[in-house]
Amino acid sequence: MTAGRKRIPYPYQKRVLDALLNQGRPVILQAPTGAGKTFAALWPFLHAFRRDVALPFPAQAIYSVPMRVLASQFFEEYRRLTQGLQLREDLTLTIQTGEHPLDPEYHGDLVFATVDQTLSSLLAVPYSLPESRANLNVGAVLGSYLVFDEFHLFPYEATRTLFHLLKHLRPLVPFVLMTATFSQTMLEELAAVLDAHVEVVPPKEAQVIAGRGGLPPKTRRFHTRENPLTETPEAVLETHRTRTLAVLNTVDRAQDLYQSLLERGARAVPFRDLITEAEYQKVAQAPDPKEAARPLVARLREHLLSQKGPWVMLLHSRFTRGHRLVKEQLLRELWGPEGLQAEQPSLIVVATQVVEVGLDISAEVLHTELAPAAAVLQRAGRCARYPGEQGEVYVYPVPSDSQGNPNYRPYGQSRIERETVEASWEAFRKRDGAVVDFPEEQAIINEAHARQDEALVQEIREAEGHIWEGITATLTGGETGLRNELIRDTLTSRTVLVYDAPESDEQPPFGLEGFSLYIGTLHGKLEELLALRDDLGLDWALRRLKTWEEDGEVAFRWLNVEVPKDLEGAFLLAVHPRLAAYDAERGFRLGEVSDGAY
């Protein structure tokens, strides 16, 4: 919203305001992508904050999201928006994430935070405060209006903890839970437990919102394909117009598709040739990375327009911070609402789940591997996102693993998860060639996710006693070790350094930038790494850092990883520099033989 322009709320946004301010009820909100659910959640708080209104509503709001990039996005968006509102006084916006821990004691009027930060503060085990001050944030959270956005993407541990906490906080703390992809099962269960007002945007109202500004409603037509995406890169090129997005479930498969497109004539966006490492570092260290990236993005855009495409670029989690920030800013400026008004280069973006949320962009064509329906629909929200656009979405089966079974990783790690993915495939196949609008998206979610949500709710209910034991232990004893059980299980990933790790070292390599890899990825790569070690005659392939206390000081030693069991409990690993590669175009590759220069 432009500063100073009066914003006319949609009817559903008024109903959310009425439930919170007049009825005193929490809200569960389900609204289509791009329908303004963020404003719907914050409007009651901003309304109460106005100079001419005196309402018994918290004077502070904490807006919690599952990912750092979302917190940063909303912080920037609402910093601009609130400049044009008539409020009682200046509204202080702050951000609190692991990447930007700028408000550890929650002094801001409107705080954008990751759910990890909010929940750890509420449980008196904050990540950002010493033990002596841990109790400060409990009161800050309990005295605030709480918004939990993209609730379906919260870690399982945080979801079940919040389920029980909010049930008891409901009479004291106003809150909103929202997402575009609640199943009817989850909506009904949450509404019953929390005695909440459920606001699902009605179909006719969703149509009006989709056609705002006098434009025809956006449409997305879904198609299913019979062969895996990595086996049919030609399909990406054949359907490409100007803006194509391809989303794969794993980094390795994204890198494979990217290479296949290059082999078939697409051109790599030359991130190394046009931008120096010193410039990337300046972006990574800048107080405002987006602003610092703008001149670099302008240089890239000019180059892409000056030569014929199609160009192709990769975006995933295994890029260094500077490279990732520049790539994200390039996408925002090319495919964002304002960028689409300008001349467009022909560009194919190959990505992973990092684009599901947090990037306000719109492609014309989306190719995606099969995933749970909620995830596929989140990805589809990056295709034909704005009024008047028409998009095509292609859904592909996943390739088989070494045993011949569908490789659903990182999904499908339990029977019920596999059933959800399989039900998602059937739901999309039924709609092959059909336009899928918001009501139809809800129908797909119900078909695919109902059983999994029923199982999740049952698991949460059965674990209530155990969860409350953990909550009590954190609140009364500051048991920080319970964060993994109550907030997010960080034990499933490992940090990998490209580092020539000696068995003994004078200083541990703390402070070096590493890459976070899922433990299953490392298990799958270990045999390959050991074979490459033997082929190249290296002394080692992968080493783990072991630490212990000796004479009152921390001692450490690098130990070889020889069998999968060695990976358990080893949270900092080093891969031999000859067995890894990295560049700004493709990112980190584990198990690729290199000259060891990185």
Q: What are the percentages of helix, strand and coil residues in the chain, rounded to 5? A: 45, 20, 35
Contact, 55 vs 21, CB < 8 A? yes
Query: How many angstroms separate the CA atoms of 192 and 187, rounded?
Result: 9
Q: Each residue of 434-470: pLDDT tens digit?
A: 999 989 999 999 999 999 999 989 999 999 999 999 9
Per-residue confidence band for 1, with pLDDT thresholds at 50, 70 and 90: very low
Q: What is the mean pLDDT of the chain?
A: 90
Q: Which of 411, 469, 516 is nearest to 156 (CA)?
A: 411
Q: What is the pLDDT of residue 506?
A: 61
Per-residue confidence band for 7, with pLDDT thresholds at 50, 70 and 90: low
Q: Each residue of 446-456: pLDDT tens digit?
A: 999 999 999 98
Contacts of 481 (CB under 8 A, 6+ apart): none
Contacts of 211 (CB under 8 A, 6+ apart): 217, 387
Of all residues in the chain, what percent carry a pLDDT higher than 90? 67
Q: What is the pLDDT of residue 5?
A: 45
Q: What is the pLDDT of residue 4?
A: 40
- Considering only residues 242 and 3, tell me which one the structure prediction assigns the higher pLDDT: 242
Six-digit token pair at 551?
A: 């004479």
Stretch among 107-116, 209-218, 230-239, 505-514 having the lowest mean pLDDT = 505-514
Q: Which of 435, 432, 410 is nearest to 421 (CA)?
A: 410
- Considering only residues 86 and 135, tell me which one the structure prediction assigns the higher pLDDT: 135
Q: What is the pLDDT of residue 372?
A: 95
Q: What angle do CA 477, 480, 481 make, to 5 degrees?
A: 110
Mean pLDDT along residues 295-302: 97
Check pLDDT > 70 for residue 534: yes
Q: Each residue of 152-173: pLDDT tens digit?
A: 889 899 999 999 999 999 989 9
Q: Each residue of 319-359: pLDDT tens digit?
A: 999 999 999 999 999 999 889 999 999 999 999 988 887 78
Q: What angle do CA 418, 419, 420 make, to 5 degrees?
A: 90
Stretch among 444-453, 458-467, 502-511, 562-571 having the lowest mean pLDDT = 502-511
Q: Each residue of 357-410: pLDDT tens digit?
A: 778 899 999 999 999 999 999 999 999 998 889 999 999 999 998 889 999 988
Residue reference for tokens 């004078």? 506
Q: What is the pLDDT of residue 297?
A: 97
Contact, 355 vs 382, CB < 8 A? yes
Check pLDDT > 90 for residue 487: yes
Contacts of 185 (CB under 8 A, 6+ apart): 446, 449, 450, 453, 454, 457
Report CA 589 to chain centroid distance, whole Å: 21
Check pLDDT > 60 for residue 87: no
Query: How many angstroms separate the CA atoms of 492 and 428, rounded?
Result: 31
Check pLDDT > 80 for residue 81: no
Per-residue confidence band for 270, with pLDDT thresholds at 50, 70 and 90: very high
Check pLDDT > 90 for residue 428: yes
Contacts of 85 (CB under 8 A, 6+ apart): 46, 50, 91
Q: Which of 393, 421, 394 is nearest to 406 (CA)?
A: 421
Q: What is the pLDDT of residue 3?
A: 37
Per-residue confidence band for 216, with pLDDT thresholds at 50, 70 and 90: confident
- Considering only residues 275 and 215, tell me which one the structure prediction assigns the higher pLDDT: 275
Q: What is the pLDDT of residue 277?
A: 96
Q: What is the pLDDT of residue 490?
A: 76
Q: What is the pLDDT of residue 82?
A: 65
Verdict on whether the full-model pTM lies above 0.85: yes
Q: What is the pLDDT of residue 446?
A: 95
Q: What is the pLDDT of residue 494?
A: 87
